[in-house]
Amino acid sequence: MKAASKAVAFMTLLFAFSLAARRRYAADWPTYGHDPQRSGWAFEESLLTPENVSQLELKWKAQVKNEPKSLTALTAPVVASGVVTASGIKTLVYVAGSGDRIYALDAANGNQVWKVDFDSHVVPKDEGMWLCPNGVNATPVIDRSTNSIYAVAVDGKVYGLDLGTGQIRFGPAQFVPAFSKNWSLNLFDGFIYTAISQGCGGAQSGFYAMDIRDPHRPMVRDLYISSGGGGIWGRGGPVIGANGKVYASTGDGDFQPWTGEFANSVLAASVPDLKLLDYYTPTNWKEVSRYDLDMGSGSPVWFGYENYNLVAVAGKEAVVYLLDADALGDKDHQTPLFTVHLANDERAFEGKGVWGGLSAWRDLDEQTWVYVPIWGPASKDAPSFPQTNGATPHGSVMAFKVVRDPTSKKPFLQPAWISGDFNLPEPVVIANGVIFALSTGENPMQTTQGEVIVNLPPHVTLLTDAQRRLQTKNAVLYALDGKTGKTLYQSGDSIPDWVHFSGLAVADGRLYAVDHESRVYCFGLKEEKKQ
């Protein structure tokens, strides 16, 4: 009987630990866009609801010691809960800084728990600017299996750091070229992934992967997709589907599949060996390249719908492509399931179109939704939306339902609503039926006369970093009803500065954002309830 009582007690304790573990991980935001598919959907979140988000307030803001480089400052936040630290078990918020360091902040109050300065021993050949800032650019990724966070330093080495102490547990190991412009890290089955663009540091554009299972043999694999051009520069970096493939969209350049050049395309490669498996290229790829309308300005999102694996993607042209993730572009590589043009009638390469990436969510009625951040007004040829929420001269979020075409039986995007006006929205995140979106307030202009960057005429020059910091506005956090687009909350002047190419994190009833002055912000309910 005594042994039985001990067994019951042990099982009770084990069950409690199991519940605690599930609860702890449920409060995580481990990677850019929340998951390897970059859905932006915090499907574990239950504290924030359409009924209570009007009660959001700024809980704290924390200034970290980091010097912005060009337009970059802090990466999008990632979050880990239940972390053992020297001062107890905490939820920690992590941001990497352009000045070659990473910070861990206490989610309760914004206090710094630890900071690590990366030990780089190289200097850049070229002076940094907004295209190639020579700073940390990739959002780190959290690995709960080892309680580590991985980040890439300016010298291209990857560090695996203890979540609670910052102690080095992996590396530093050379992953990508020094001063390359690499994008948000992804983690899948013992490998970390990134993507590179724009030739910064002389780096080849493409996919990169590192085996982190054995710290003594961190083997690197890569897939080069362009000898020039923009490469893969969606800020979500590599997108990894539940079907075991890695996806990305590419920027302007040459399209010559027989030589490995894949401009303005959506690519699928195998994991972890990065063998090219498939691609989709629109029939007007030459025109897209000619007018600098990169498809690569927006990362894809991967999601499932009924018996389909799907990818949705859009770039500066503001054409959304819905693709079969298992057969991109069908047999000819140029046949999508569905396309729709939403904005950028001017065919401008700056300040218009889709920048950042798309997001996806499935509601409690099993309806799948796709959300598109739009810069600039809607196209005169855009489809009619059943619900609108005011004029949108500067930008908006557009929402679509994924439904079946009654004739072809194939999925397509059915317009649902357009938000109110946004001053250049970031990719949205979704939590329990609420859409959270950040209006960046940045100045998107790149040249003195809005001319295409390639082959600039003598009288047109690229704007300097200082010029691009002019005419900015403060960033604003919005909460929208996921089914109607109605504004439920907006943060006013709580964030006094702008931000460039960032993202939000949602965890345990709180939202986290950063600005260009290296400040981290936390928003939560006025009266917080714990699960």
Complete edge-to-edge strand list for the sheet that includes strand 519-525: 56-63, 519-525, 510-514, 505-507
**For the chain, what is the radius of gyration of the CA atoms?**
22
In a domain, 215, yes or no: yes
In a domain, 44, yes or no: yes
Omega within 30 of 0 (cis) for the link into 140:
no
In a domain, 387, yes or no: yes
Predicted confidence pLDDT, tens digits, the chain (531 residues): 344 343 333 333 333 333 344 445 568 999 999 999 999 999 999 999 999 999 999 999 999 999 898 899 999 999 999 999 999 999 999 999 999 999 999 999 999 999 999 998 999 888 887 788 899 999 999 999 999 999 999 999 999 999 999 999 999 999 999 999 999 999 999 999 999 998 899 999 999 999 999 999 999 999 998 766 668 999 999 999 999 999 999 999 889 898 888 999 999 999 999 999 999 999 999 999 999 999 999 999 999 999 999 999 999 999 999 999 999 999 999 999 999 999 999 999 999 999 999 999 999 999 999 999 999 999 999 999 999 999 999 999 999 999 999 999 999 999 999 999 999 999 999 999 999 999 999 999 888 765 544 455 555 577 777 888 888 999 999 999 999 999 999 999 999 999 999 999 999 999 999 999 999 999 999 987 665
Nearest-angstrom CA–CA distance, 356 and 499: 13
Q: CA dihedral defined by 83, 86, 90, 93, rounded to 10 degrees?
A: -80
Amino acid at residue number 356:
G
Please name the helix (run of DSSP H) or strand (run of DSSP E) that holds residue 36, with its range, or none: none
What's the total number of domains in the chain? 1
In a domain, 7, yes or no: no
Question: 């006013």: which residue's tokens?
Answer: 492
Q: Could you tell me if 109 and 93 are in contact, meaning their C-beta atoms sit under 8 angstroms apart?
A: no
In a domain, 32, yes or no: yes
Amino acid at residue number 457:
P
SS3 299: strand
Task: Identify the CA nearest to 82 among candidates 152, 22, 5, 16.
Answer: 22
Which domain, by its residues, includes 508? 26-525
In a domain, 166, yes or no: yes
CATH code of 322's domain = 2.140.10.10
Q: Could you tell me if 41 and 29 are in contact, meaning their C-beta atoms sit under 8 angstroms apart?
A: no
SS3 508: coil
Q: What are phi and psi of 14, to 5 degrees?
A: -65, -40
Q: Could you tell me if 238 and 169 are in contact, meaning their C-beta atoms sit under 8 angstroms apart?
A: no
All residues at 6 or more sequence positions from 96 whose CB lies less than 8 Å from its CB, including other chains: 74, 75, 102, 103, 136, 138, 139, 140, 151
In a domain, 253, yes or no: yes
In a domain, 288, yes or no: yes
Q: For residue 216, how many other CB atoms are within 10 A of its CB?
A: 5
- Give the DSSP letter of residue 232: S
